[in-house]
Structure 1
Amino acid sequence: MNTRSGSTARSADNASPESLTPRHWLYFSLITLVLLSDGMDVTIVAHVFPTLIKSWGVSVGGGIAFVVAVGFLAMGLGAVVAGGMADRWGRKTVLIGSVVVFGGATALGGTSGDFTAFAGWRILACLGMGAAMASGNALLADLIPERRRAALIATAYAGVGLGTTLGAVLAGALIPTSGWRLLLVVAGLIPLAVIAVLAAVVPESPAFLLAKRRVDGAASTDGRGAEAFDPGLRVRPSLAGSAVSVRTVLSRPLAPKTLLLWLFGFFSLGTQLLIAQYMPTLLQLPKPGLDTVQSSTIVGVYGLASVVGGVVLGAILARLSRFLIIGIVLGLAAVMSIVVYLLPDPGFGSLLVVLGIAGFILPSAFGPTRSVLAAMAYPASMRGAGIGVAEFGGRLGAAAGGVAGGTLIAAGMGLSGLFLVLLLPIGVLLGSLTGLRAQSRRTPVSEQAEVGPTGPAPAEGTPERAAAMD
């Protein structure tokens, strides 16, 4: 038994620092399931809205838009707070607490006696959801080798699309037969089951553990402490910098990069969740006039196509520049927005095909891109805070998109008109991406870089290596 364990440990020690082991794939899978729960929750609530409008007389431009907007603000607050907390108390600890909050609040939302109670539970769930997204991405980035990081973060985000599909299937099956209350209970119990398994299997960030041991005076300077904790992971000693606050990522010379990431997050997630939140309502408007089953089918296909798109995006990001690929995907998103706008007399069949193709492109352009850019922009010692700031921008954008979407629909804008409006945020995203590319050349931060209160120290390694990572 001891011989076998020693052999396994030596095999892990001899593995390439950039290679993926079965442990990496296990961690990746469980964190992806957390993201799946996020996508499922958003989609399920979007399918609940039409029922609340009919049952409680809630208006789209008033009550629904309020819940969507405040919910996204709560997600942003949860993300930025959780990002800083994850750098201080650990990514895994914060992730577990976040999922317990959003899963429990979603389930309890099914007990709501009126719209006020529903709104309260929904806002609490959104607070935990935003925190889970930020801490989950930070933990995944810390557990994955540097060169595989962008690809696996993008691929993990495909879980959000799979959650969209699962949410649509559950909504189509449970709302007509059992009602929206049971749907919310099921939607809340699923992430609670996932986090129970994750808590038992996934380790804490090795970078965080090294930082904590160094602060406690118990860390080994050669990084062997982390290897003893998990032989399948490689962490350089310089990864174990002190935990930093959000203020650090806003200090020079990182401030321009952080602000551009905030802007990118604002328009990317805002645009993505605008579509996700209002697509069932748009499809059930008098034009095109689809029923619940038809709209759920289209949303499910849209989500399933986004899973394929996310996996393809991850595979490409493993080989080519993230800036080039994200720019191309944003361009394709603009093309699909125009196609949906020009679609004549849309019916169920044509919408199923066109929105299925749009689902392959749009969620990949708006969903994982901000997380990929943020995770690669900061070293491990400040990754939680950096991702939290980008998520905060995204959730603020989603709040603005929620208000704008509800207002536009209430004013009479339908599906085609709303897709034409998407050209505006796509243009801003392309401009932000160009600025981020310029910043990455000006202030490269390698995985080895130490970060102090005034910003990162000069990156180690050759300029060619920094350019390759860009």
Structure 2
Amino acid sequence: MSVTHQVDVQQLIDSGRFSRYQFLIAFLCFVIIAIDGFDTAIIGFIAPSLRTEWHLLPQQLAPLLSAGLVGLAFGSFLAGPLGDRIGRKTILVLSVLFFGIWSLASAYTDSLFTLTLFRFLTGLGLGGAMPNAITLTSEYSPQRSKSTVVTIMFCGFTLGSGLGGALAAHMIPAYGWRSMLLLGGYVPVACAVLFYFLLPESVRFLVLRRPGSRQIEATLRHIAPQAKLAGAGFFIPEPPAAVRRSPVAQLFATPLAFGTLALWAAFFMSLLIVYLLTNWLPTLFKEAGFPIAKAALVSAMYQVGGTVGAIVLGRLMDRFNPYRVLAVAYLSAIAFIAIISFNYTDLVILNLAVAGVGFCVSGSQIGANALAAAFYPTSNRVTGVSWALGVGRCGAILGSMMGGALLGAGLGFSTIILLLAIPALLASIAIFAMFKRYPRPATDAASATGGGAASMPVSH
């Protein structure tokens, strides 16, 4: 059938209401991120029981605890180019299946070296799932609510981590630490099959890479059943020449290169703070003289603040310039950091300040995921998101190690907390620099790449 008219796929998604089908896609990605969060956090929950059963010293646990983070970083770097070449759905499903299989394998090992290796391999899958889930959600969300949908979807990570803690409290005493790894293996393996049948491939990806695919019209009919799609050709407002270039090379091409480096700086600094506080906040409060129960309660406020911050900042990013929103949020974190450092004896103020740091830093990091997904064009969107996350994971590894190093150096609670103002300031500067370089809000980076609408007809 000959092409009778052209349909802009992104305009079609933007102009309609958020359909049940789009909600299903976002929900399935939410579930994937929740499973990702559960499997990422497992090792921390089983570590005390593992140490007791295998008679391990604390320093012997360190490689095991960091192996997953290293795997996450490598997985992010590998998954991006694959997602942009092969497809978001394909790599997403394979990543979930991959980390589920290695979690199952971890449950049956009796060797610390083998368990460490398997945690690294699990991390590879975890690192591959996250950026593809972010990208798929972003590409099916209307521009007017893109940041909100992506940030709410990513809150699944916190839910999965928290659920892991609740289940660990009941399962480990009753069934042993291996039961957590088994649960973290069987659930993703089973869900990978479900995701294969329920998740669609990104229509933007299909238009760019497989313009003759019948899936394009079939998927768009689920989103906009009233649209006139019969005999249509489909296009996205991006230059098709980008398909012939390496997704990695595009990261450093003009004018994306500046934004790439700025995003990397923000992700690195942000995740350094997030993981230092997540891993060391209870210990820091205990060193400052707080009872363990109160230290744990205050630390939980950080996660609460991060979840609320993600939702609020996501909404603000959709209403105002997203660069300004994130730059101000990171800058505001400095005030809360100072309050914690200088006034940590007042429990009420401390709880509010810790929640404020979570709101501004952890919430901004989730918002930065949405910003990265909007900044890069379809041809290298997964690569852009995943490589930013990969660089961020390097910051996470450094943050995890810094807590112990700073405590070992004899620095006090106030000094260690106050030092976090430096990476928060640098993250704010990086995002503000993007605002100065790209004054227009990130809108799928069609403007960032300098390309106009490219007609990519589909024959019927």
Letter in 1 for 2:256: L
Map of 1:30-179 to 2, 5 A cutoff? 30-56=28-54, 58-60=56-58, 62-179=59-176
- Residue 279 of structure 1: how far off its partner (Å): 4.1
- Does 230-239 or 203-212 show the bigger shift? 230-239
**Aligned residues, how many?**
432
Map of 1:8-47 to 2, 5 A cutoff? 17-47=15-45
- Residue 128 of structure 1: how far off its partner (Å): 1.1
Residues in 2 aligned to 1:145 and 1:116: alpha-carbon distance in whole angstroms = 47
Residues in 1 aligned to 2:409 and 2:113: alpha-carbon distance in whole angstroms = 25
Normalised by the length of structure 2, the TM-score is: 0.82
Structure 1 residue ranges (4+ consecutive) displaced by more than 6 angstroms after TM superposition: 349-353
**8 Å CA contact 1:165, 1:301 repeated in 2:** no
Cα 1:412–1:115 shift into 2, 3 Å: farther
Deviations 1:330-351, CA, capped at 9 Å, x for gaps: 233222323333354588x987
Residues in 2 aligned to 1:247 and 1:91: alpha-carbon distance in whole angstroms = 19
- Does 402-411 or 117-126 show the bigger shift? 402-411
Letter in 1 for 2:362: P
**8 Å CA contact 1:99, 1:129 repeated in 2:** yes
Partner of 2:247: 245
Deviations 1:436-456, CA, capped at 9 Å, x for gaps: 1122238x8754849xxxx93
Residues in 1 aligned to 2:330 and 2:424: alpha-carbon distance in whole angstroms = 7
- Residue 95 of structure 1: how far off its partner (Å): 0.6
Normalised by the length of structure 1, the TM-score is: 0.80
Partner of 1:334: 334
| 2:275 corresponds to 1:273 | yes
Cα 1:114–1:410 shift into 2, 3 Å: farther
In the alignment, which of 409, 419, 434 is matched to residue 421 of structure 1?
A: 419
Letter in 2 for 1:226: I
**8 Å CA contact 1:158, 1:309 repeated in 2:** no
Partner of 1:313: 313
Letter in 2 for 1:252: T
Deviations 1:90-139, CA, capped at 9 Å, x for gaps: 00110111112223323433333243222112111111111111111111
Residues in 1 aligned to 2:345 and 2:170: alpha-carbon distance in whole angstroms = 28
**8 Å CA contact 1:377, 1:440 repeated in 2:** no
Partner of 1:387: 385
Cα 1:59–1:230 shift into 2, 3 Å: farther
Q: Secondary structure in 1 aligned to 2:15?
A: coil
**8 Å CA contact 1:50, 1:281 repeated in 2:** no
Residues in 2 aligned to 1:140 and 1:28: alpha-carbon distance in whole angstroms = 5
Residues in 2 aligned to 1:174 and 1:346: alpha-carbon distance in whole angstroms = 36
Cα 1:65–1:404 shift into 2, 3 Å: farther
- Residue 416 of structure 1: how far off its partner (Å): 5.2
Map of 1:204-243 to 2, 5 A cutoff? 204-214=201-211, 218=212, 226-233=216-223, 236-238=235-237, 241=240, 242=243
Partner of 1:7: none
| 2:450 corresponds to 1:457 | yes
Residues in 1 aligned to 2:415 and 2:61: alpha-carbon distance in whole angstroms = 20
**8 Å CA contact 1:104, 1:188 repeated in 2:** yes
| 2:292 corresponds to 1:290 | yes
- Residue 78 of structure 1: how far off its partner (Å): 0.9
Letter in 2 for 1:310: A
Residues in 2 aligned to 1:92 and 1:259: alpha-carbon distance in whole angstroms = 27
Cα 1:448–1:281 shift into 2, 3 Å: closer
Cα 1:359–1:208 shift into 2, 3 Å: same
Letter in 2 for 1:364: G
Q: Secondary structure in 2 aligned to 1:456?
A: coil
Cα 1:340–1:183 shift into 2, 3 Å: farther
**8 Å CA contact 1:210, 1:225 repeated in 2:** no
**8 Å CA contact 2:40, 2:126 repeated in 1:** no
Residues in 2 aligned to 1:202 and 1:79: alpha-carbon distance in whole angstroms = 21
Letter in 2 for 1:228: A
Deviations 1:345-371, CA, capped at 9 Å, x for gaps: 588x98767645554444203x31321
Q: Secondary structure in 2 aligned to 1:144?
A: coil
**8 Å CA contact 1:165, 1:304 repeated in 2:** no
Residues in 1 aligned to 2:438 and 2:312: alpha-carbon distance in whole angstroms = 24
- Does 66-75 or 148-157 show the bigger shift? 66-75
Contiguous gaps of at least 5 residues in structure 2: 1-10, 225-233, 454-460
**8 Å CA contact 1:65, 1:402 repeated in 2:** no
**8 Å CA contact 2:147, 2:367 repeated in 1:** no
- Residue 160 of structure 1: how far off its partner (Å): 1.8
Partner of 2:263: 261
Residues in 2 aligned to 1:350 and 1:438: alpha-carbon distance in whole angstroms = 35
Partner of 1:3: none
Deviations 1:138-160, CA, capped at 9 Å, x for gaps: 11111212332222112222222
Residues in 2 aligned to 1:415 and 1:180: alpha-carbon distance in whole angstroms = 33
- Residue 290 of structure 1: how far off its partner (Å): 1.6
Map of 1:344-383 to 2, 5 A cutoff? 344=344, 355-356=354-355, 358-365=357-364, 367-383=365-381
- Residue 164 of structure 1: how far off its partner (Å): 2.9
| 2:395 corresponds to 1:402 | no
- Does 85-94 or 119-128 show the bigger shift? 119-128
Q: Secondary structure in 2 aligned to 1:364?
A: helix
Contiguous gaps of at least 5 residues in structure 1: 1-12, 461-470
Cα 1:381–1:416 shift into 2, 3 Å: same
Partner of 1:4: none
- Residue 86 of structure 1: how far off its partner (Å): 0.5
**8 Å CA contact 1:18, 1:148 repeated in 2:** no
Deviations 1:362-395, CA, capped at 9 Å, x for gaps: 4203x31321221121121221111122112111
Give the % identical residues: 26
- Does 228-237 or 25-34 show the bigger shift? 228-237
